Chain A
């Protein structure tokens, strides 16, 4: 049972223009010499192995039978053609002669390198082609020698051999595989050819969609199964594939390995912090060695990954290898591209471990690495997943057959966490990737990782220079940070994970890493105590690195270039989600966000771009609108210089002083309009000539939040978006902006009317979404601070408001929440206050029955109270009492139900729920609480007909009434809400 040595030098090709032909030639020669040296060493190694095998006094084919058994299993799993494969495997193979054609790009001259290795140890190598090919040949040779370094010399027991005894045959063999894979289809030996074919066939049958490459490799592992080093071959062959990209790092990663290679073997990897039972015992005999091989599976995965040249540019989350691998096997451009990177790497380390002896020294690897190569190759992807699965208590059926072998096991959690601190980078990144997988939707594991102190290690890896490592660490942290267990989030924060994430965000340009970082931050931002931390460390960075660039906004727009649209990337979505969360952390958070340079500008730009493109339903838009809404909360109190804009009339009327003042005013005024409009009338009157504060320069930053221009944006969103959250947030923004008594909210309220926003809002009262209805109702209430708005809303929104109320015990179809019902009642209260006209509308809308029912029977004290307020207000209009009595109502119906006393009514603001800050504006300035007596006065004053100018067109427009009536009634209310007919929309 001898293994066959096959030498397969070349891996990659690329144009090397830099180097002169002469140096290339020299190099070729030099390499050839080494090559021969190697070959000799290899042959010696082979004999060595054989000897050892014999000495081991094992049954005739112990090493063979063992791997064979395993491989059979694998074959069964993956391919219906396993029978043939096995047959092949058992055929003795004396000589393998392979010719490999390497193709770079289509159209590039190909180079042919044949290597013939007989079992007598001689190796012939032929090169063909022109000068440019020579360049390639050079590289091939180089690759080989370099590769040597990376090989794990394995003894018959599957363990790394002491230096000098490494079975070089194993790696040469693997090289060979690699070569075939790359090179393709030309095989001199029929056997090899058939093998290859079969391998490719397998790939089609494979349920896991493995790429031909992995299939191929696996197959080779099988193919060699009758040799002693079966699975080593397989692994090595795979290892070969990923060698090149690693080179730049080799010098670093090798040193530590060398230093402890031998001890490891003897003392069971004692340097690894966590116990590794099976590995330790595996040295004892052949059988036991198997678990070890299997164990580090994920490293094998990782290794695959590293093989991929373009991986650096095109990251993949979990299965990069496979996609890339398939690319590699494809002829053509992809392939050329794939090869570029590795070659560059080869060049860089050129000459490093050329000496075979040195190479062997270096070859002594940590068992993890060793294991990496011997991981079951059959299914690189599933393999790693499977091992993970097992740990997580799940199983992948595909590898169950392997699983049943008790000698194989996955690393346990402490081991994996220990591996995070492993000196070898791929081990780190694999461990991190493994953790990410384990933590996926598994709160128990997340907790365990935390308790095993894995989080600080992962955070530490964020600063690792290698993208592979920090990417995987970040992926693990993202999964760990997800979920209800805030302890995990706190743990990340406690080891300075947030600044580390932000640092990495500044550093990396890798989109995938950025997605992971921002995703992690988004997760973290959901926990209140971390919000300020995120703001402190990351606000400006997130704004500068993500929000601004992806929003399309430019600080100083280039006049030549067209304004850019926002890009709804995942990174943007994540970051805006994070900011959305942190923006709800109170006044200080809002202040920081408002004053964050460029943030508001960029968000507005993004939203405008969304409106422009009619792309308003996505999550990023939702996040942006939510941030805007939150930042709009209390602008009139919180923005710098807000006091300059305070409405003087409002300042005079804090709290309950308002009604008093109004009462006096009423007494002294002739016209109802002026009197009742004390609060708003002046603004109304002036509106058409309303002077917006003059600006010498365009507003920017937080000023943009409350400029009347934003009204149109929010209204567009309210009109067009189908996303309830966006609708709610846009309505909430208007609600926030129209609250308060300062100049800007006056403008906003008037602008909403001017921009025909009232019908849009009223239409949304019919939304199926509870929270949309609520936000809209409250917005309407704030808008009705503006007198004209109040009249319009009273006339045209009443029916929709009332229809949202539950009738008695029976809830309406929508079954709105208590909060919403209370909000609607409060809005109704607001619009019937000071307006007998509106109260009349309310009565006409058949609201009294519902209100009485709520007042008497509602289970909710808040609803009862709010309904009671409305009823009292209605009853206060004496001129309505006749009509009410005719309808069968009497005073008792309008009395507060048992609990609510009139006194309470007077002072209490009717149940304005402020708990969901900053969603809604707190009721302030007492506008919603009105003394009843006041109301009567108001009403009388009102009776003269103010606002003729505004209402008249509506009343005169009989034509519109006509067509309105012909449509569904609901629509008509919207239509008539403003001077111009609103768009009618009829279902047909």
Chain B
């Protein structure tokens, strides 16, 4: 999952579609994100590569839309509705996720278990 901005990314991704939930005036997704190119990647507890400045799912509201959609803590968000999320600031990511006019968010995420599952199915060892 090592990732260097500007270089091609290879990742096993999963599509996740989250139907936002209306809470008062807000539409919420029920998860929180961490990371971004303006953040200290060394503090990201979820990334394997501590230089990874990607956007990660840090918390999930139990029973919230994200949990329902099977998003998981530690997932790395690659795209939001087609927008790249691998080279964005934290706030850009947040804005893309919280557009008021969009009721549905389509994520491309990757997670370690996905990669491993694919590798196992291919029968080769995970590359280091």
Contacts and interface: CB of A to CB of B under 8 A. Distances in A.
B34 A985 contact: yes
B108 interface: no
B33 to A, nearest CB: 6
Interface in A30-66: none
Contacts of B28: 987-988
A986 interface: yes
B19 interface: no
B89 A963 contact: yes
Interface stretch (A370-378, A392-400, A976-984): A976-984
Contacts of A984: 34, 36, 39, 90
A959 B38 contact: yes
A986 B90 contact: yes
Nearest to A716: B45
Interface bin, chain A: 10 to 19
A907 interface: no
A985 B91 contact: no
B40 interface: yes
Nearest to B27: A988
A719 B91 contact: no
Interface residues of B, number: 23
The B interface is mostly helix, strand or loop, or mixed, namely mixed
A987 B97 CA distance: 10
B43 A756 contact: yes
A170 B108 CA distance: 75
B3 interface: no
A198 interface: no
Contacts of B39: 981, 983-984
A959 B59 CA distance: 25
Interface string B12-52: 00000000000000001101111110111011110000000
Given A963-B38, A963-B89, A983 B43 contact: yes
A966 interface: yes
A985 B59 contact: yes
Interface string A946-988: 0000000000000110110011000000000000111111111
A983 B33 CA distance: 10
A986 to B, nearest CB: 5
B53 to A, nearest CB: 11
A980 B39 CA distance: 8
B48 to A, nearest CB: 14
Interface string B56-97: 001100000000000000000000000000000111001001
B40 A966 contact: no
A876 to B, nearest CB: 38
Contacts of A962: 91
B98 A983 contact: no
B36 to A, nearest CB: 7
A800 B50 CA distance: 29
Nearest to A959: B38
Contacts of B94: 966-967, 986, 988
Contacts of A966: 91, 94
B32 A985 contact: yes
Contacts of B38: 959-960, 963, 981
A988 B98 contact: yes
Contacts of A980: 40, 42-43
A401 B39 CA distance: 73
A963 B40 CA distance: 13
A721 to B, nearest CB: 13
B59 A981 contact: no
Between A962, A963, A966, A983, the greatest number of chain B beta carbons within 10 A of the residue's beta carbon is seen for A983
26 contacts: A719-B45, A720-B45, A756-B43, A959-B38, A962-B91, A963-B90, A963-B91, A966-B94, A967-B91, A967-B94, A980-B40, A980-B43, A981-B40, A982-B40, A982-B43, A983-B58, A985-B33, A985-B59, A986-B32, A986-B33, A986-B90, A987-B59, A988-B28, A988-B33, A988-B97, A988-B98
Interface of B: 28-29, 31-36, 38-40, 42-45, 58-59, 89-91, 94, 97-98
Given A963-B36, A982-B40, A988-B33, 13 more contacts: A962-B91, A966-B91, A967-B90, A967-B94, A980-B43, A981-B40, A982-B43, A983-B35, A983-B39, A983-B40, A985-B34, A988-B97, A988-B98
